[in-house]
Chain A
Amino acid sequence: MPATLKTDAIVLRSIRYGEADRVLHLYTPAHGRLSAIAKGSRRAHSRFGGRLEPFFRLTTILHEGRSELRTVTSAATLAGHPRLREHAGSLDAAARACDAVGRLFETEDPHPGVYHLLANELALLDDDPAGATLSNQLAFRLKLLLAAGLAPALDACASCGEQADLVAFSPAAGGIVCGACEAASFALDPAAYSFMVGALGASLAAAPAAPMRALRQVERAITELAEHHAQVRLRAAGSVLSAPG
């Protein structure tokens, strides 16, 4: 039976469809990831204006008909993030954040924490586009893993429980491992370990800094953890857009 759903949502993705429509991937606090069609939204005189572009946070009304796709019937802006859109680096970081949410949380299961985390990340990038650093992106991904129940085990060896000599990271074991259990793992610098602990314990805005080598190890840990336990391949963090040379 047709019904309407009123919900806040962040536009993760906007795909051109047909003559003048868009198919949207939306992330909502209570209904997870939804897909919806916005008819006529690419026309210059569309009543939606530009608010169905990625990164807009909206209050939407979605019509649920017989089709699998809901139809957007109304959209009001909660946050448009205009400053974020003026810098290639922050645009790219926002796109990667939305992509990671869409990949890790692709069902309609509710994860209000993920919605608020993404809203915070977009607000942060909008407040300070220069904050679109690799450490910010990795801190965001670590918190996403935590929300997905995949946070890396960092307090003891993920294989044997040993609390000393933690020298490597094992995606299969789901965290750091000691020297005796380091088969099928890769070396982890103390700075990378400190970064993961710090990023998980601090707010996004206070993500710690770390040397590039450590950040690359953290990225590898996050990517392989998601691949091993959620069968999800995350796009590389960082940006190819902010470095035109």
Chain B
Amino acid sequence: MSTNAPPIQRLISELAKLPGIGTRTAQRLAFHILRADDVDANGLADAIREVKERIGLCEECFNLADGPRCRICLDERRDTAILCVVEEPGDVIPIERTHEFPGRYHVLGGALSPIDGIDPDDLKITELYERVAHSEVKEVVLATNPTTTGEATALHIADGLRERSPAVTVTRLASGLPVGADLEYADEVTLSRALAGRRPA
């Protein structure tokens, strides 16, 4: 039986549900929150409440949004002719950090994995086909992860787009060696793709 008062125990239990947080860490965080001043502790509670109440999915691209449409879809300076398809909202951030992509996004909400019961109907793939068919999109960049499930998703969508919107160019992010990596450690699939995708120096 726990020696903590029920409210403390409840906080520990809730924190321990977070990914990567075990009971010991949850207990440390709970005591930190208890020691924190009221403004900080209530700020954390308010932030959690606000994010749950105000954040939903953009009705156009399914990225996270604090209104009907996300900030990227609302930005009229973005190029509407090019669409980047990613698995999760978190994948938009690293692409935005490059400042190289001028277009808009489409967030699938995961990757295909029939083994895990994730079929095309579980993702925003039909919505992507509709969006491409009824807009001025000229190029779709498939930026799913270069994992087995990400590759399967990209191949499936590429087939679907070629069938439904043959005029649209479908591209895939290049595969190759990360900057600063050693050739010695490169795996054979990555290295053979890097060789196949070589370009004039």
* A86 in the interface (beta carbon within 8 A): yes
Task: Check: A91 CB closer than 8 A to any chain B CB.
Answer: yes
Complex Cα distance A1/B119, Å? 44
> Known: A49-B190, A241-B112. Contact between A92 and B152, CB under 8 A?
yes
Q: Which of A44, A87, A239, A244 contacts B163 (CB 8 A)?
A: A244
Rounded to whole Å, the gap between the CB of B161 and the closest CB of chain A is: 9
Q: Are A86 and B155 in contact (CB under 8 A)?
A: yes
Chain B's nearest CB lies how many Å from the CB of A89?
A: 9
B188 adjacent to A96 (CB under 8 Å): no
A87 in contact with B155 (CB, 8 Å): yes
Q: Interface of chain A, helix or strand or loop or mixed?
A: loop
Contact at B148–A85, with CB atoms within 8 Å?
yes
Interface residues on A, range: 20 to 34
Q: Do A49 and B155 have beta carbons less than 8 Å apart?
A: no
CB–CB A53/B147 < 8 A: yes
Interface status of A203 (Cβ within 8 A of chain B): no
CA distance A130 to B167 in the complex (A): 26
A50-B146, A99-B115, A241-B114 known; A82 vs B155 contact (CB < 8 Å):
no
With contacts A82-B192, A91-B152, A244-B163 taken as known, whether A49 is within 8 angstroms of B185 at the C-beta atoms is: yes
Contact indicator B155/A18 (Cβ below 8 Å)? no
Select B114's contact among A77, A87, A235, A244, beta carbons within 8 Å.
A235
| Residues in B neighbouring A45, C-beta threshold 8 A | 178, 180-181
Q: B156 to A51, Cβ gap below 8 A?
A: no
Minimum CB–CB distance from A196 to chain B (whole Å) comes to 24
Contact B185 A244 (CB under 8 A): no
Bound Cα distance from A212 to B163, whole angstroms? 25
Look across to chain A and name the residue whose beta carbon is closest to the beta carbon of B190: A50
Question: Contact at A50–B163, with CB atoms within 8 Å?
Answer: no
Q: Is the CB of A95 within 8 A of B148?
A: yes
The contact string, 1 if C-beta is below 8 Å from chain B, for chain A 35-78, is 00000000011111111011110000000000000000000010
Q: In the assembled complex, which residues on chain B have CB atoms less than 8 Å from the CB atom of A241?
A: 112, 114, 120, 152, 155-156
Kindly identify which residue among A19, A53, A235 contacts B115, using a CB–CB cutoff of 8 Å.
Answer: A235
User: Using Cβ atoms and an 8 Å threshold, which residues of chain B touch A82?
Assistant: 188-189, 192-193
> B114, A96: Cβ atoms under 8 Å?
yes
Interface residue? B186 (CB, 8 A): yes
Closest to A58 in B: B187
**Min CB distance, B157 to chain A, in Å?**
8
By the criterion CB–CB under 8 Å, are B181 and A88 in contact?
no
Cβ of B90 < 8 Å from any Cβ of A?
A: no
Contact with B along A158-196 (1 / 0, CB 8 A): 000000000000000000000000000000000000000
User: C-beta contact mask, B130-170 vs A, less than 8 Å → 1, else 0?
Assistant: 00000000000000001110011001110110010000000
Instruction: Closest B residue to A236 by CB, please name it.
Output: B114
Contact of A80 among B112, B147, B188 (CB under 8 A): B188
Kindly provide the distance from the CB of B89 to the nearest chain A CB, expressed in whole angstroms. 16
CB of A95 within 8 A of CB of B114, answer yes
Is the pair B178, A96 in contact by a Cβ cutoff of 8 Å? no
- Please, how many angstroms separate the alpha-carbon atoms of A95 and B113 in the complex? 9
- 23 A-B residue pairs with Cβ-Cβ distance under 8 Å, sorted by A, are A14-B147, A14-B148, A18-B20, A45-B181, A47-B185, A48-B187, A49-B187, A50-B189, A54-B148, A55-B148, A77-B187, A82-B189, A85-B189, A88-B156, A88-B159, A95-B113, A95-B115, A235-B114, A235-B115, A241-B112, A241-B156, A244-B160, A245-B160
Interface residues of B (CB under 8 A from A): 20, 112-115, 119-120, 146-148, 151-152, 155-157, 159-160, 163, 178, 180-181, 185-190, 192-193
**Top 8 A-B pairs, shortest CB-CB distance:** A49-B187, A244-B160, A88-B155, A44-B178, A51-B187, A80-B189, A50-B187, A244-B159
